[in-house]
Amino acid sequence: MPYKASTKRYQKLTYRRCGNSGLLLPPITLGLWHNFGGKKSMPNESKKMLFRAFDRGVTHFDLANNYGPPYGSAETNFGQLMKSDLSKYRDELIISTKAGYDMWPGPYGEWGSKKYLTASLDQSLKRMNLEYVDIFYSHRFDPLTPLEETADALTHSIRSGKALYVGISSYSSKQTIKMNKLLKERGVRCLIHQPSYSMINRWVEKDLLSTLKKLEIGCIAFSPLAQGMLSGKYLKTIPKISRISDNSSLDKKMITKNYLLKIKELTKIAKKRGQSLPQMALSWVLRHPTMTSALIGARTVKQLDECLDSQKNMNFSSKELRQINKYAREENINLWAKSSSN
Ligand SMILES: NC(=O)c1ccc[n+]([C@@H]2O[C@H](COP(=O)([O-])OP(=O)(O)OC[C@H]3O[C@@H](n4cnc5c(N)ncnc54)[C@H](OP(=O)(O)O)[C@@H]3O)[C@@H](O)[C@H]2O)c1
């Protein structure tokens, strides 16, 4: 039976304006970095998550050329679903992809050249069965390619009708200001920045958020649950089904005594608010008016539902924020720090 979206899908979420653009995004976006790849097809639970997300008003799905494994397979699997079930909702969806990290061998398969970004976007569109993406990102800052060239490539993606908007990811405040200026000179809006941000990875608070506010650029925070560390799952042991056990982007060395202590205390605060820790972590990221969306990952429909239920309590008293601040401290988990330190 082909998928039919819930008729109540727009009744629950409050959409947020992306910078000073015309684009509204859902407060929670679903990313396809983990759990949506696979050589043959997308796992069944992941398909269910995409449908469930849309049924609950999540209009934005975030991808990148190399999400998998293997590279490209999250886009390919998403493309199959696009063809079979989602094409009739295309005008209700915001689909993003990115290029910047290694994708194919040789000098044109990564970083920020016009050659790589243009070819990668063409490949992404084919894999996803799309004529255009809504947002195309430069996935990381390239210290060796002139920023003008990356800006030219992003501009070209718009002029050629292959992207509606462009964004940048893991750029420092300084490089964001430069890129914004270069895009403006080319008549293009820098719509959105995608940085990592969570209760235990707060680098954006130093200057990036104020820069985005000043430049009226939207912000979508990735890994707001610190890849699952902002939950109780690692309190007793490393569960067999977890990102750490998958041996992927999360290392068990990150589960330190200090981290566990913070999680216990933050969980108590969340409980008093009537939330789970993942729910409080999402409401907390979204407390900034500049924050357009929290970009989560999920393994199951149950996790996704729990994350979406965070929207029931979005307010923090100043006392709660002070209490949270005692434990919401850096844990040295920002895998993307190198890109944004330029
Ligand atoms: N621009 C970039 O460079 C960049 C980098 C990374 C990610 N991203 C984007 O951001 C998206 C999200 O990243 P992420 O997956 O790291 O985000 P995340 O939301 O911080 O972590 C997702 C993980 O948290 C756990 N989780 C989710 N909901 C839970 C719940 N209710 N209770 C307990 N655990 C829960 C699951 O871990 P288990 O699997 O262990 O159950 C899930 O796989 C990606 O898909 C991608 O689109 C972008």
Question: Over the Cα atoms of the chain, what is R_g?
Answer: 19
The answer to the question of residue 326 being in a domain is yes
The answer to the question of residue 185 being in a domain is yes
Q: Is 169 in the pocket of ligand 1 (CB under 6 A)?
A: yes
DSSP 3-state percent helix, strand, coil across the chain (nearest 5): 40, 15, 45
Atom of ligand 1 nearest to the CA of 296: 19
| Average model confidence (pLDDT) across the chain | 97
Indicate the helix (H) or strand (E) that contains 272. Answer: helix 257-272
The answer to the question of residue 6 being in a domain is no
The answer to the question of residue 160 being in a domain is yes
Residue 342 pLDDT grade (very low, low, confident, very high; cuts 50, 70, 90): confident
Residue 259 pLDDT grade (very low, low, confident, very high; cuts 50, 70, 90): very high
Tell which one of 78, 204, 225 to mutate to probe ligand 1, the residue whose CB is within 8 A of the most ligand atoms: 225
The answer to the question of residue 4 being in a domain is no
Residue 334 neighbours by CB under 8 Å, 6+ apart: 196, 201, 203
CATH number at residue 194: 3.20.20.100
Tell which one of 139, 222, 307 to mutate to probe ligand 1, the residue whose CB is within 8 A of the most ligand atoms: 222
The answer to the question of residue 335 being in a domain is yes
Closest CA to 60 of 168, 258, 225, 221: 221
Q: Give residue 21's domain range.
A: 16-340
Share of the chain above pLDDT 90, in %: 96
Question: Residue range 48-55: average pLDDT?
Answer: 98
Q: Is 66 in the pocket of ligand 1 (CB under 6 A)?
A: no
CA of 296 to the centre of ligand 1 (A): 5
Total structural domains in the chain?
1
The answer to the question of residue 60 being in a domain is yes
The answer to the question of residue 11 being in a domain is no
pLDDT digits (tens, 9 = 90+) for 16-28: 999 999 999 999 9
pLDDT digits (tens, 9 = 90+) for 94-114: 999 999 999 999 999 999 999
* Per-residue confidence (pLDDT) for residue 41, from 0 to 100: 86
pLDDT digits (tens, 9 = 90+) for 139-148: 999 999 999 9
pLDDT digits (tens, 9 = 90+) for 193-251: 999 999 999 999 999 999 999 999 999 999 999 999 999 999 999 999 999 999 889 99
Three-class SS of residue 130? coil
Q: Is 67 in the pocket of ligand 1 (CB under 6 A)?
A: no
Q: Is 306 in the pocket of ligand 1 (CB under 6 A)?
A: yes
pLDDT digits (tens, 9 = 90+) for 63-100: 999 999 999 999 999 999 999 999 999 999 999 999 99
